[in-house]
Copies of this chain bind each other. A is one copy, B any other.
Amino acid sequence: MTRAALINGRTIAAEMHTRIKAEADALTAKGWAPRLVSVSVGDTAAADIYVRNQKRNAEAAGVAFEERRFDEKISLEQLTGVLAGLNADPRVNGIIIQRPLPAHIPVKALQKAVHPLKDVEGMHPSSIGNIVYNDLALGPCTAVAAVEILKTLPLKLEGLDVTVIGHSEIVGKPIAFLLMGLGATVTVCHHMTRSVAMHSRAADAVFVAVGKPGLVTGDMLKPGAALIDIGINRVETLDGPRTVGDADMESCAEVAGWLTPVPGGVGPVTVAVLMQNAVAATRMQMEHYANAYMAEGA
C-alpha cells in the first residue's frame, strides 16, 4: 500500500526553466547575456556527466555555458590566477568549480577565490554567512533546491517541525538555516546523534543527505510526513548498477505523505537552481555596474 505522492523533480525544474529563461532573455536584451564558466582540472571522466547535464540545463534556461579544462598538474597559484581573471572579466557572470579536483588543490581555497558576486554555487563563506543573515541572493544549489521542493507542498512552513539528517557544510547545514529563516523548528541529526528516529518521528518533514542507501525506513517517519531525499548512491542490483537515495523507498512510501524519488527528485531541481543563481548573479552585477557608472536617474 503506497501512501506517498511522488514529487516530480523534473516537472518542478521545467517550470523553473521557463521562468529563468524569461529572465535570462530580458537580461540579454539589455546587453547582459548570462554566461557561466565551468572550471575542470585533470581527469574529469567522473564529472563529465554532471557537466553535460549543466550545459543542457543552461541551454534550456537561456544561459551561455563555457567549459574550461586545465591540466592536472596546474598549481593552486596558477588556478587562483585563472579565477582572478574570471572574476575580473565582465562577460563572465558565474564561475563553477567542478569536482573532483586533484589532491594537491584544496577545494576550500578555490571556493574562497571565486568572487562572492559570481559564486553561483553558493559556497563562498560570505554566501553561507549571508544565508544566516537571511540575505538569500546566491545559496548553495542542493540546499536551495531541497527547500524549494518543500515549498511546493501544501505545508505551512512557519512552526513546521523539520529534521535534517546530515550536517555537511554545503547541504545539511544550509538547509537548516534556510528553513530556520522560513520559521520552521529545525533539528539537525548526524552520525553522532544517539537516536535519529526519535527526532525524525516527531518531524512533519525530513531531509536526508548522508549517502547511505536504506538509511531512512518507514518506521522512522510520522505518517503523512514529507521526505526529501538528497542522497545519491550507486548500488549493484541483479539488473545492474542503479542510482538510489538514502531512503528505503518501499517502507517509506507506505508511511510518508510525500517522497522525492532518486533519480528524478532533488537532482533536476539542483541544476535548475544553479541556472537561477546564474541569472540572479547577472542581474546583481548589472545593477552593481549601473550604480557605479551610470548617472543618477539613469
Residues of A within 8 A of B (CB): 108, 124-130, 132-135, 158-159, 161, 167, 169, 173-174, 176-177, 180, 183-190, 192-194, 198-199, 202
Contacts and interface: CB of A to CB of B under 8 A. Distances in A.
Contact of A132 (B159, B169, B184): B169
A43 to B, nearest CB: 27
The oligomer's copy count stands at 2
Nearest to A185: B193
Given A125-B133, A126-B129, A183 B192 contact: yes
A194 B158 CA distance: 9
A68 to B, nearest CB: 26
Nearest to A187: B187
A123 to B, nearest CB: 9
A185 B185 contact: no
B192 A159 contact: yes
A134 B169 contact: yes
A127 B129 CA distance: 7
Contacts of A133: 108, 125, 128, 169
A142 to B, nearest CB: 15
Contacts of A174: 132
Contacts of A167: 180
| Chain B CB within 10 Å, residue with most, of A159, A167, A174, A187 | A187
Contact of A125 (B130, B161, B202): B130
| 9 smallest beta-carbon distances between A and B, as pairs | A125-B129, A129-B129, A128-B129, A187-B187, A185-B193, A183-B192, A159-B192, A158-B192, A128-B132
